[in-house]
Amino acid sequence: KLQDLAHKNCHLVVEAVVENLKIKQSIFQTLDEITPPQCVLLSNTSTLDIDAMASVLTPQRQEWFMGWHFFSPAHVMKLVEIVVGKRTSPEAVTFLQTLSKQVGKIAVVVGNCDGFCGNRLLRPYSLESSYLVAEGAASITQVDEAVVELGVALGPFVMGDLAGNDVGYNIRRERGWTRETPQSPIPSKRPARYAELADVMITDMGRTGQKAGKGWYDYDPAVGRGRTPLHSPEMEQLVKSHVAQLQPSQRGPPASPSEIVRRCFYPLVNEGFKCLEEGIALRPSDIDVVYLYGYGFPMWRGGPMHWADHQVGLRAILEWLEQMSEKNPTSDHFFPSALLVECVRQNITVEEYYRQKEQRTPRQARSKL
């Protein structure tokens, strides 16, 4: 009960309820009233607006309000994002950085936007991986295998099953992307390249992932203690039925493993550049740390921004994005970041760009978000 927290020795509360802004605001409004003034209030939200939550708190409490986004499974993943709001004080950020270290986490300070840093980059990655399957360009297994071949710990569909596909569905519903019924009009907020397969498997089939014994894959308690992904005839039939209803122009050509990697990761890198432009991330290495410790990106590749800089090449990514943007002008995740364009124009890596920027900026003027 929330009333149990109305104690003079209550110093910190971390909220971790379902991703629904109204519910979270209601909880924080109550906590603001019942907890002692020195109690620090934090949210474990993975996508929602920190400032919107802070708006229900008193001005004094807002200075110490932040997001403390743990990555699942929280007892395994080392990363935590410290999400800074408009009124969060530098002292509060320093306090939470220290606390994060004390509880054995690697903390990255990020700005406030939909998805913050990690999940914002995950959005185009998830959209494209699902779209590859929905347009018939690749199977669920082929997408996962191509991503794992790059060195990532888990493919997008195995990861979804592990985290819970209903979590992603609730986030999409909160963003206004889902339909209430199959007959409902397509929501205006929905991205252009959107695969309803991920919604149908939840609403019509209850395929929430490992916890239900079925998600993108099937799971058998007798095989790997119910954690080994197995081919799902039901999902195979759902995909076939969906693809069969498409017009020939809507179907994608078979995608090679290298094309799957480009489709999944080049938009992710592009979104990383946009986060840097907007100040959501302070430096490219912060994004790399988020993906190394929060999403299983291979250590030996150095993180997605380092991979883009030193293994792929920014010019190759820009040229691919320009081609895809021309073919798909309504898909904003293909529209090249201005920072990416500038780095290519100067023929430097984004790492070099930020090194030069720090050399030009006096230390005392550097922001901590």
Which of the following is catalytic: 7, 11, 69, 310?
Answer: 69
Q: Name the 3-class secondary structure at 41.
A: strand
Rounded distance, CA 68 to CA 66, Å? 6
How many whole angstroms from its chain centre is CA 75? 19
How many whole angstroms from its chain centre is CA 106? 17
* Maximum pairwise Cα distance, the chain: 66
Identify whether 11 is a catalytic site residue. Answer: no
Residue 18: how many CA atoms within 13 Å on its side-chain side? 12
Q: Based on the number of CB atoms within 10 Å of its own CB, is 363 exposed (0-12), middle (13-18) or buried (19 or more)? A: exposed
Q: Which residues contact 130 (CB under 8 A, 6 or more apart)?
A: 156, 195, 197, 198
Q: Which residues contact 290 (CB under 8 A, 6 or more apart)?
A: 79, 81, 108, 110, 117, 118, 121, 281
Nearest-5° angle of CA 115, CA 28, CA 99? 65
- CA dihedral (86, 87, 91, 97) positive or negative: negative
Query: Phi and psi (nearest 5°) for 15?
Result: -85, 135
Q: Based on the number of CB atoms within 10 Å of its own CB, is 24 exposed (0-12), middle (13-18) or buried (19 or more)? A: buried
Q: Which residue numbers are catalytic?
A: 69
